[in-house]
Structure 1
Amino acid sequence: MTANRGWRSRPVFRVMATARPVRGRLLLAGLLGALAIGSSVGLLATSAFLISKASQQPPILYLSVAIVLVRAFGIGRGVFRYAERLTGHDAAFRSLTDLRLAVFDRLTVVAPAGTSAYRSGDLLNRLVADVDAVVDLYLRVALPYIVAIVVGIGSVLLVTIFVPAAALALAAALLVGALIVPALTLRRLDRSQRKVAPAMARLTAETVTLADGSAEVIALGQQQRFLDRIAAADQELTQAAAVAARSSGVGSALGVLAQGGAIVAAIVFGTQAVTSGALDGVNLALVILVPLAAYEAVQVLPAAIVTLLRVRESARRITAVLDAPNPVPDPVNPVSIDAPGAVDLQVTALSAGWKLDDWVVGPVSLDVRPGRPVALVGPSGSGKSTVAAGLTRLCPSQGKVFFSDQDLSRATGDDVRRIIGLAEQNPHLFDSTVAENVRLARRSATDEEIHEILVELGLGPWLAALPDGLQTPVGRFGRAVSGGQRQRLALARVLLSETPIVVADEPTEYLDASSADVVMRALTRRCRHRGLLIITHRAADVAWCESSVSLGGQISV
């Protein structure tokens, strides 16, 4: 039982488990592929018989069945191949969708604390390239082996009817092509192929890093340094791919030799059978040509092993994400949290950090009540943003957090974030319109509501100057907006939401004094009936709050 669990725990088999809902489609694709190559075998065998028989000039009726079979096999080969490709790709892409969603779902669980060890390009490569590579596991590994087994058995049985000795030689050649040649290829490739997926990930990560930071790189004159790093990663990938290509070529050559040996054996044993009278001379061409067509089924298996090695490394990287521990796990038996009319947040001895039991800030205690803003103050780098992440269950934390006398540690992270809304210091803007970026907090919000809240935050003149108003795109990563505009769009999101508690992290960081006053006035007005926690290091912001809490725990009112 333990060995069985170990076998099933291997990355390739774990990834293949996602294909269970489409297993029937994959088996059907394998059968159709076997029929396609079987049609090729039948076409060649029937054609050989037809040509040989026709040389004897028999009555045309003697050839009619063979003529019909040649047409049927010729048409069937194309029809079955098309059906196999259609069915196989449909099943593979259905499974691919499920796998990509599983990886994305896991990333949403472990992020942001659990993804800090990955570079953005590496995560992108795992979510896109590595998951895409799994398609080849079904189409270029599993299906070829299913087809090879079915066609190999059928071809050997066909030749056995005429010349058993030639059938044994064909069986030996097929086994060499299906087992020995791939095993030799595997031995040569194993070490080099392990380097391909990581090398691809490094190349992607370096490229994404350069693309995202191109402005800073050019401004500092570091283009050549980054290009050299990309070139080094590309060279590493090229070397690993070259070794794989050479090994694949050697495997293909060995396969051709095995095929040639089967044909030579068929000639020798077939000629002996004709000489002895055990085989009609008309069928000699059939015995000789069947191995030529049958070997097509195993000829792709060395390449399948190359693909398997590449996919295995991608599967390992995918399962690493799927197995990534949740740094902030939900309780085993979570409870629902009610949102009463009068709400308050009591935080006692909260410590937080980006790794479990490695607290970078705390303990912090504070009490947030409706209409009584609280400021959390401290110098830059003191961990104020980490406190916000801990409150919203985005990073590990310890301590007591109660919402209207309800213990939030017993609620799920999603439920906590429905209670506590966070406007981050460096918010992400999606490559969409102004309205859609704000509407992210509440999908039912109207354009009028969005416009009203943005005007309150001091963005009225900016909106009026935009060519399409709220429907103006903000650009990739929000590059079409300034830092202050970005910050206020994030504030509009959280204010538009219906969370009873609002946490604003450095809401006036990028603003001048007058604009900062406008923002603080809008925050306090909008949160008259909501709890408001302002994280700041600016004294002017603290003046808008009824109390302030330093990270040392001292409170001044």
Structure 2
Amino acid sequence: MKNLRWIIKEILPFWPRVCLTLLLSALTVTSHIGLMATSSYLLARAALQPPIMDLMITIVGVRFFGISRAVFRYCERLVSHDVTFRVLSRIRMIVYKGIEPLAPAQLKDMHSGDLLSRIVGDVEVQQNLFLRVLAPPLVAVLVLLGYGGFLAHFNQGFTTILAAFFLAAGVALPFLIRALGNGIGQMKIQAKAKMHTFILDSLQGMPEMLAFGQTGAVFQRIQEAQSELSRSDRRMARVTGISNALMGMISHLGMLAVLVLGIFLVKQGQIDGILLGMLALGVLSSFEAVIPLPVSQHHLEENEAAGRRLKNLIDEGQKLLEKDERKEISTGIGDGSEERSIFQNCELEFVNVSFRYDPDGPWVLDNISAKIPRGRRIGIVGRSGAGKSSLVNLLVRFWEPNTGEIRLGGVNIKELRPLDIREKIGIVAQKSHLFHATVKENLLLAKPEATNEELYEAARRAKIHEFILSLPQGYDSLIGEGGMKLSGGQQQRLAIARVLLKDAPILILDEATNGLDPVTEGELKEELLALTEDRTLIVITHHLGFVKDLDEILVLEKGRIIEYGKHEDLMKRKGLYRRLWENGSEI
């Protein structure tokens, strides 16, 4: 249960609803007991042909218990599911907050399908924790105490029999079922995760699989994962069948034991024979409270396996959050004090920065040193794989350099919270993600409180305002998953409009003009240069013509800065930049 303690803590704030759920569940079982016992008593009394008025109270009792059972069951379902959904909502928020600091470096080795399986499937599994794991044994105890006390009025032996068979059905049988089904829950969770991973990978890579004729191989992998999941389901079904059979046997043996004792007591004259059916059927009905207990072991194992997978993610994220909180205290940011000068001058400096993605892999950046004062407009060019985009990933702390420092305002960014750094930087990547939402909602991601006029102005500067107005619903038009209803150039212009709306002091364009026609690219370039007169602009591109008029150009080759300076100076040196320029303005 250690992997479920954090989830149980999320249930505790709802203890009034939890207590009400337990009470309603116990009343539901009590109504079932009352219905069966009263019906039996009514039939036994009616067989003696008493006056009809003598049966009226019993008849009303049958009606009452029949109606109350349905009412209590409905109310119990209403309250218990309300608790469950509230807890699931809290768990989703906890999981998201735990995952958010991990992206993307700490998640690089995890399949997107497995990650989706955790934040969706593993969270959904936790709905069984309260409904089918924690509540049933508590309800069983309440029923045992309540009905056991009722039976004690007739004879203590009835209570002893009920307690003994309750222990057999609610304690011994679950242990047996857990032993028979050991590992099923873990196996089922892993099989689901594997299948989700394969399915998501196949959906994301569908065009490539169709183009290369690999659909058969992918289908076979999915089928194997489904077979593994089916095996776990069949094994669980067999164990459940055994559980149901044993539960039926125990409950009927309990009823038979009460009946035998009752017959003996009738012969002794201690109880009225008319009560035999009522006592026997009442005991049989009371086993409704312990029927869920053996199966709850399967749910418990699934909950533990899913909880462990979620907790591993959350713990990693929590470690990073705790580091950030300590940095917040040490820097004074976030406690109401004025912003430090590091966020006022926004000077960037790379000091002997080296980086590689894997410990044994090649160096992507090798001893990089550069200073970018605020308000400078810098171009970074080089062949593919030179390390241009890696600089951006390090700057926003998606990754950490192996050696060296990156300074913002003279302070090592490792001493700052990633959130504070990213608030000051606006990035348009080569492939910016657009959500399946409206144009307006995608823009407001950068500035939720922005006015319509601010949205329009950002779109005008990105040269996409007129296109948006031509859409059927204008800014309220849905753009599809990943912006699939837009062309590549339109997607990039929308992403540029979004980053312009953010109005950050540092603007980074990482191959942001890919997919734009030359005319639009030229107009956008002029707009950006005019817009960034008092901001830092970093342009990473293969289009050398885009960086020609910038203040300085850095030329990367194999992770090193081999040239830097203005366009005219670099052309005079007759180095790599000039060779690239003479071979064409696009690398």
Same fold (TM > 0.5):
yes
Match for residue 431 of structure 2 among 415, 426, 441: 426
Q: Does 1:361 align with 2:365?
A: yes
Moved more, 335-344 or 374-383: 335-344
Structure 1 partner of 2:171: 179
- Decide whether the 8 Å contact of 1:106 with 1:322 is kept in 2: yes
CA 1:157–1:439: 2 relative to 1, 3 Å = closer
CA 1:463–1:287: 2 relative to 1, 3 Å = closer
Structure 2 partner of 1:389: 393
CA 1:474–1:354: 2 relative to 1, 3 Å = farther
Match for residue 9 of structure 2 among 5, 17, 23: 17
Instruction: For residue 180 of structure 1, give the secondary structure of its aligned residue in structure 2.
Output: helix
Q: Distance in 1 between matches of 2:306 and 2:350?
A: 44
Structure 2 partner of 1:316: 308
Q: Unpaired segments of 5 or more residues in structure 1?
A: 1-6
Structure 2 partner of 1:496: 501
- Decide whether the 8 Å contact of 2:44 with 2:274 is kept in 1: yes
Instruction: For residue 367 of structure 1, give the secondary structure of its aligned residue in structure 2.
Output: strand
Moved more, 431-440 or 508-517: 508-517
Q: Which structure 2 residues correspond to residues 391-406 of structure 1 after superposition, within 5 A? A: 391-397=395-401, 399-405=404-410
Q: Root-mean-square deviation (CA), in Å?
A: 2.6
- Decide whether the 8 Å contact of 1:346 with 1:368 is kept in 2: yes
Moved more, 405-414 or 272-281: 405-414
Structure 1 partner of 2:350: 347
Match for residue 333 of structure 1 among 327, 334, 347: 327
- Decide whether the 8 Å contact of 1:43 with 1:73 is kept in 2: yes
Structure 2 partner of 1:31: 23
CA 1:186–1:528: 2 relative to 1, 3 Å = same
Q: Does 1:552 align with 2:560?
A: yes
Moved more, 269-278 or 359-368: 359-368
Q: Which structure 2 residues correspond to residues 266-277 of structure 1 after superposition, within 5 A? A: 266-277=258-269
Structure 1 partner of 2:161: 169
Q: Distance in 2 between matches of 1:196 and 1:270?
A: 46
TM value normalised by structure 1: 0.91
CA 1:67–1:456: 2 relative to 1, 3 Å = closer
Q: Which structure 2 residues correspond to residues 207-222 of structure 1 after superposition, within 5 A? A: 207-222=199-214
Q: Unpaired segments of 5 or more residues in structure 2?
A: 334-338, 566-587
Shift of 1:534: 1.4
CA 1:544–1:471: 2 relative to 1, 3 Å = farther
Moved more, 547-556 or 203-212: 547-556
- Superposed CA deviations along residues 99-132 of structure 1, whole A, max 9, x for unmatched, are 1110011111211222222222222221122111
Shift of 1:280: 1.3
Match for residue 515 of structure 2 among 487, 510, 514: 510
Amino acid at match of 1:265: A
CA 1:462–1:76: 2 relative to 1, 3 Å = closer
CA 1:281–1:469: 2 relative to 1, 3 Å = closer
Q: Distance in 2 between matches of 1:191 and 1:343?
A: 55
Amino acid at match of 1:400: E
Structure 1 partner of 2:76: 84
Q: Distance in 1 between matches of 2:353 and 2:427?
A: 17
CA 1:369–1:289: 2 relative to 1, 3 Å = same
Q: Distance in 1 between matches of 2:383 and 2:106?
A: 26
Structure 2 partner of 1:3: none
Q: Distance in 2 between matches of 1:456 and 1:327?
A: 37
Amino acid at match of 2:309: R
- Decide whether the 8 Å contact of 1:353 with 1:395 is kept in 2: no
Shift of 1:554: 3.8
Aligned residues: 549
Amino acid at match of 1:488: R
Match for residue 101 of structure 1 among 93, 98, 109: 93
Q: Does 1:257 align with 2:260?
A: no
Q: Distance in 2 between matches of 1:365 and 1:111?
A: 26
Instruction: For residue 184 of structure 2, give the secondary structure of its aligned residue in structure 1.
Output: helix
Q: Distance in 2 between matches of 1:395 and 1:497?
A: 23
TM value normalised by structure 2: 0.87
CA 1:47–1:112: 2 relative to 1, 3 Å = same
CA 1:14–1:403: 2 relative to 1, 3 Å = closer
Moved more, 333-342 or 184-193: 333-342
Q: Distance in 2 between matches of 1:163 and 1:189?
A: 39
Structure 1 partner of 2:182: 190
Q: Which structure 2 residues correspond to residues 446-525 of structure 1 after superposition, within 5 A? A: 446-459=451-464, 462-463=467-468, 466-525=471-530
- Superposed CA deviations along residues 133-176 of structure 1, whole A, max 9, x for unmatched, are 11111111212111111112323333333243343333222111
